[in-house]
Every structure is written in C-alpha cells, then in structure tokens.
Structure 1
Amino acid sequence: MGLVFLLIIGTAAGFLATRVMRIDADVPTTVVIGIAGALIGGFLLRSLVVITGWLAGLVGAIVGAMVLIWLYKTYIMK
C-alpha cells in the first residue's frame, strides 16, 4: 500500500510542481519528477521537521519536485 500511496502523492506533487514552476513537461517526466521529489522531499522534511501524517509527505513531495525542476531547468534545459 505504501508504494501505491507514493505513486499517487508523487504524481500529484509532480503535476503541482510543474504548474508552480511553469515548466512544460510530458506526463512521464512529470510523474518521474513528482515521485523522485516525493522521495527526496518527504525524507528531508520528515528528517528536519517533526510533522507526521500525509500532509507532511505532500508538502515534502511538492518541495522536492520543485527543487528537481529547478535543477532540471538550470542544468539540463540549457
């Protein structure tokens, strides 16, 4: 169940992050960015802040995805 939840939250986070960062990405790229951001952001947020529950995971996923989009735009899309 945890993997399915990660996929759902990661997909939603990727979609929101690509809209906030105003990047045009196809669906697979958006999903990958969101899932990777969910892993990175969720881990960092839970390590730094003592917040539990799905809200912390969603916020961390969005922040992580936004960081990945920034790195993608800065170093890859040149």
Structure 2
Amino acid sequence: MPLIWLLVVGVAAGFLATRILRVDLDTPSTIALGVLGALIGGMVLRGLVMLVGMGAGFVGALLGALLLIWAWKTWAR
C-alpha cells in the first residue's frame, strides 16, 4: 500500500511541479520525475523530522532537569 501511495503522490507532485515551473514534458517523464522527487523529498523530510525529534528530546530533558533542580533547591532547604 505505501508503494501505491508513493506512486499516486509522485504522479500528482510531478504534474503540479511541471505546471508550476511551466515545463513541457511528456507523461512518462512527468511521472518519473514526480516519483523520484517524492522518494528524495520523503527521505529528506524523514531525516529532518528525526533530527528535530532528537533535538526536542534534548530540550525536554534539559527542561526536566532544570525543573528538578529548581524544586530541589526550593524545597530541600
């Protein structure tokens, strides 16, 4: 099912990209460029999301540590 979805999204993306950039390509080339663009864009986007996720985890850990240190300094005296 993900392969079929990739093909559908790739075809739509290729069609829209050729219309936005006003490029006149035949149908197989439009489909091929759209599918390859969907593959490349999907990998890049997944990599960025993974990096942002790791960064968010670090920020969450830092905030948690700051909260615990503040609570310890406030109530442990």
| TM-superposed deviation, 1:46 | 1.7
What corresponds to 1:54 in structure 2?
none
Match of 1:28 in 2: 28
**TM-score for the superposition, normalised by structure 2:** 0.61
State the Cα distance separating 1:49 from its structure 2 match.
3.3
User: Where in structure 1 do 4 or more consecutive aligned residues deviate above 2 Å?
Assistant: none
SS of the residue corresponding to residue 49 of structure 1 reads helix
What are the ranges of 5 or more consecutive residues in structure 1 without an aligned counterpart?
A: 51-78
Distance 1:49 1:14 in 2: 23
Counterpart code for 2:5: F
- TM-score with structure 1 setting the length: 0.60
Percent identity between the two aligned chains:
58
The higher relative CO (CA closer than 8 Å, separation ≥ 6) is in: 1
RMSD between aligned alpha carbons? 1.1
Q: Structure 2: give runs of 5+ residues left out of the alignment.
A: 51-77
